Structure 1
Amino acid sequence: MTRRDTLVLLAAAGSAAMLLGALGFQHLGELAPCKLCIWQRYPHGVAVLIGLAALMISVRLLPALGALAVLSTAGIGIYHTGVERGWWEGPSTCTSGEIGGLTPQQLMEQIMAAPLVRCDEVPWEMLGLSMASWNAVVSLALMSIWLMAMRTHAA
């Protein structure tokens, strides 16, 4: 395995670990995600897929796209941190399932069954950083690994 492949594998595995951690907090720790938490997951999924492609195709574009993916989740994490800390206002809407065709009774049942999760509350933190903040920190570290992979020539 080349150094480039090792770096790609490390970066993609880091995003996979972030996704697994988020799902663990959600399903094992029973911490329902807010809208911004969900948004932070998508770029990690994309980074994992890019990593798989980059292990099969050795072009510089793929690690650059991996870096861009984790940079985007870091940006969302920073935005979410600002919402949590009251630095700026977050989204005024919440996510819900499809409501078209529901009766008023079914709609009320769906609303009542949905967990109340606010983007401006910190449900868990470690060393003074929330999950959103940790996502930003780890994602910026993963970005540096993607950039090293991009600069490393495949043998």
Structure 2
Amino acid sequence: MDARSGSLTGVASGPARLGQWLAILVPGALLAGALGSQHLGGLNPCEMCYWQRYPHWVALALGGLSFFLPARARLLTILAAIAIAVSGAIGLFHAGVEARWWEGLTACSSMVQGGSTAELLNSILNTPVVRCDQVQWSFLGLSLAAWNAIISLSSAGAILWLTNRR
């Protein structure tokens, strides 16, 4: 029996295990929502929307690894929580840009893909330019970026709290 975790296998139990699950469920759900709103809901993400997704992919990988590397589960869960918090911080910054509290770091952009010159030109002409300072969709007066900030930052705090409970 592992004295630290109280389990027979050395895998975390109780609050720490819940933290591990949150470290994969939160970024997984937020990514599913983002991809669903893009591909099913027709919302085109701006550049900062993509920035918010990258840390969630990292958190998802780290959280998943925590289940396969029990000796490093606590560290990996903490790193996943930090990645989730990074996405939340980017979401907070993006929400501030949308509210015109400050300016964004980049100009408006679009994701352009293509191989040949003709394909590239066609892609440029048919790809919508999405402004980072305009809210495309809101719920209860908050944009998707603001919701990402709220959910990510509170979840990261909860994961860190659960992971460090004894």
Q: Indicate the TM-score class for this superposition, using the shorter chain for normalisation.
A: 0.7 to 0.9
* Contact 2:19-2:77 within 8 A present in 1 as well: no
**Structure 2 counterpart of 1:2:** 13
1:136 aligns with 2:156: no
Task: Give the counterpart of 1:86 among 93, 100, 117.
Answer: 100
* Runs (5+) with no aligned partner, structure 1: none
* Contact 2:88-2:148 within 8 A present in 1 as well: yes
Say what the alpha-carbon RMSD is for the aligned residues: 1.9
Identity %: 42
* Runs (5+) with no aligned partner, structure 2: 1-11
The 5 Å alignment of 1:40-55 reads 40-55=52-67
How many angstroms apart in 1 are the aligned matches of 2:129 and 2:99? 19
* Contact 1:61-1:150 within 8 A present in 2 as well: no
**Structure 2 counterpart of 1:123:** 136
1:23 aligns with 2:38: no
**More contact order relative to length (CA 8 Å, sep ≥ 6):** 1
Q: What TM-score does the superposition give when structure 2 sets the normalisation length? A: 0.82
Superposition deviation, residue 54 in structure 1: 1.1
Q: One-letter code of the match for 2:50?
A: I
**Structure 2 counterpart of 1:34:** 46
Deviation readout 1:50-100 (Å, 9 max, x if unpaired): 11111222333212211210111011001101110111111115243357x
How many angstroms apart in 1 are the aligned matches of 2:108 and 2:136? 19
Q: What TM-score does the superposition give when structure 1 sets the normalisation length? A: 0.87
Q: One-letter code of the match for 2:80?
A: G
1:77 aligns with 2:91: yes
